Amino acid sequence: MNIKNTPTLQQLVVQTLLSNQALATSTLESMPTNFFPSLFKVVFDGRHMGLLKAMVAAWPFSFLPVGALMKTPDVEALQAVLDGLDLLLSQKVRPRRWNLQVLDLRNVHQDFLNILTGIQERVHSTETGSEEQVGRALPRYALRWRLKVVTDLNFRFHLKEHQTCLLQWAQQRKGSVRLCCLKMTICALPVEIIREVLDIFQPHYIEELELFTNQVLPFLGHFASCLGRMRNLHKFYLTQIYVDTHRVVNTLKDTEEKCMIRFLSQFSKLKCLQHFSMNGVYFSSDHMKQLFRCLKTPLELLCITLCQLSQSDLKYLSQCQRLCHLKHLILNGVELSKVRPTHLRVLLENVADTLQILDLMNCGMKDSQLSALLPALSQCSQLIGVCFYENDFSVAVLKDLLQSMANLSKLILELYPAPLECYDPQGYILVEKFNQVCPELRGILTAQRQTNVVAIATRICGECHRRCIYETESRLCWCWQ
């Protein structure tokens, strides 16, 4: 017999219990706690719904990370878990080993058994702490209303079956269960459904939010008060939201303008906001001004992609005190060829001591604009990554840029476009010309940093997914297609 294949005692017990689920259910109350994690996983994976329900009701730990097992939405399994909670909550006398405080439905954990091993150790070692502390031993009379169900929700176009199941269950048990959504995405969901959904949650639990709606003003008008209560919101993404910037603001209906003002004013209440992103968002200059004036906490990341920024918008950015400690500045796809670089230069000067990532990809910048930014760029001593793809720079100005970058000792990833001289009139790369210019440009950096460059090769770059000249050791990349 191969000793390695001999089942352990625990595995034999699990097999026995699965073969007699009535016996398994009756012995849960006296079953050793260390048997629960492995048995629960086998029961869940084997879709033994009756036993799953009973195990949830008898769960001896404070934390149950079901989301680590539910890789894809499973209405039947979710319903069994919720039925187990109902069975637990319906008992007037708390079971002897009832410690469950948090049911986690998020698929963010790597290994169910490893999680439970750590939780089990803390259950026995921790008896004091805050209400939110996993593993805290609470009095029996206090647990009924402390039960939390933690989830992330992605609403796209309509409610899915498993989402409807969870929301209806939580709505009917608001007095005994707190449904806490930490990460929420709302994409083109009808306003009337959004109203019902948001009524189920306590907004202050939301830490990450993405909004994408084609019913902008009705949605923003209703959503404003909810946004203002998201006091723990760390990351906020606005995607594909369009408010007509071609109309003069005072020609909008009073109700529409009030909706926007009310929505933007809520930013002043977001005291934990660190990351703010706008992707394909179109606001008037007055609305942009109000938005950045309402920021009350220093941002670490500002991401503006595929948006139109006017000269006035850039001025507001450069004057906003809450942007002076940025670590990430991303202006990807923002057309900068038609605006003066003055305010962008001021913004770079303001963040010179903290900026780590700068992305100016696909901004259509010209030589004159880049030249105006070089003094500010050379001051950004904390930079670890820069991207200048899809801008129109000549060899001469690229050399100046590389001279500025060569003095920044923390840079580990630099992405540059091919110089204009390397393209023919139709916009195709002149490979021979490019191969002549590239070593000279590379030499500027290697000479300054004394980097030993092993090789340079033409291949598909894993960073930008374009064919480019890629420097494997110094992390240089020149895109040429």
46: its two tokens: 């084997």
pLDDT of residue 125: 46
Could you report the per-residue pLDDT of 52-106, keeping only the tens digit for each?
A: 998 898 888 888 999 888 888 889 999 999 999 998 888 766 656 667 889 999 9
pLDDT of residue 472: 40
Name the pLDDT band for 110 (thresholds 50, 70, 90): low
- How far apart are alpha carbons 183 and 208 in whole angstroms? 5
CB-CB contact of 69 with 42 (8 Å):
no
Give whichever of 123-127, 194-198, 257-261, 325-329 has the largest mean pLDDT. Answer: 325-329
pLDDT of residue 369: 95
Could you report the per-residue pLDDT of 194-205, keeping only the tens digit for each?
A: 778 888 888 889
> Residue written as tokens 């390695």?
4
pLDDT of residue 409: 86
CB-CB contact of 330 with 354 (8 Å):
no
Could you report the per-residue pLDDT of 211-243, keeping only the tens digit for each?
A: 887 666 667 777 787 888 899 999 999 988 776
In this prediction, residues 267-276 reach a mean pLDDT of 94
Whole-Å CA distances, 302 to 22, 290, 295, 356, 393 = 57, 16, 12, 12, 25
- 3 state SS of 275: strand
pLDDT of residue 19: 61
CB-CB contact of 361 with 389 (8 Å):
yes
In this prediction, residues 127-141 reach a mean pLDDT of 37
pLDDT at 473 over 50: no
CB-CB contact of 379 with 350 (8 Å):
no
Name the pLDDT band for 21 (thresholds 50, 70, 90): low
pLDDT of residue 97: 61
- How far apart are alpha carbons 343 and 339 in whole angstroms? 9
Percent of the chain with pLDDT strictly greater than 90: 36
What's the number of CA atoms in the CB half-sphere (13 Å) around residue 446? 18
| Alpha-carbon 3 to chain mean position | 47
Give whichever of 26-30, 292-296, 373-377 has the largest mean pLDDT. Answer: 373-377
In this prediction, residues 436-448 reach a mean pLDDT of 82
- How far apart are alpha carbons 468 and 461 in whole angstroms? 6
Percent of the chain with pLDDT strictly greater than 70: 75
pLDDT of residue 18: 65
* 235-239 and 208-212 beta bridge pairing: parallel
Mean pLDDT over each residue of the chain, to the nearest integer:
80
CB-CB contact of 28 with 1 (8 Å):
no
pLDDT of residue 116: 65
pLDDT at 418 over 50: yes
Could you report the per-residue pLDDT of 303-316, keeping only the tens digit for each?
A: 999 998 999 999 99
CB-CB contact of 460 with 467 (8 Å):
yes
Count, residues in the chain: 481
E-strand spans in 18-135?
63-64, 102-104
Q: Higher model confidence: residue 189 or residue 167?
A: 167
Residue type at position 451: T
Could you report the per-residue pLDDT of 352-375, keeping only the tens digit for each?
A: 999 999 999 999 999 999 999 999
Q: Higher model confidence: residue 170 or residue 461?
A: 170
Least confident of 95-109, 328-342, 393-407: 95-109
pLDDT of residue 202: 82
In this prediction, residues 136-151 reach a mean pLDDT of 57
In this prediction, residues 392-416 reach a mean pLDDT of 90
CB-CB contact of 263 with 221 (8 Å):
yes
pLDDT of residue 203: 86
Whole-Å CA distances, 129 to 15, 100, 397 = 38, 16, 59
Least confident of 161-165, 234-238, 390-394, 455-459: 455-459
Tell me if the pTM is above 0.95. Answer: no
- 3 state SS of 420: helix
Least confident of 7-16, 140-149, 267-276: 140-149
Give whichever of 124-128, 171-175, 245-249, 467-471 has the largest mean pLDDT. Answer: 171-175
In this prediction, residues 240-249 reach a mean pLDDT of 59
Apex CA 65: angle with CA 64 and CA 68, to 5°?
A: 155
- 3 state SS of 245: coil
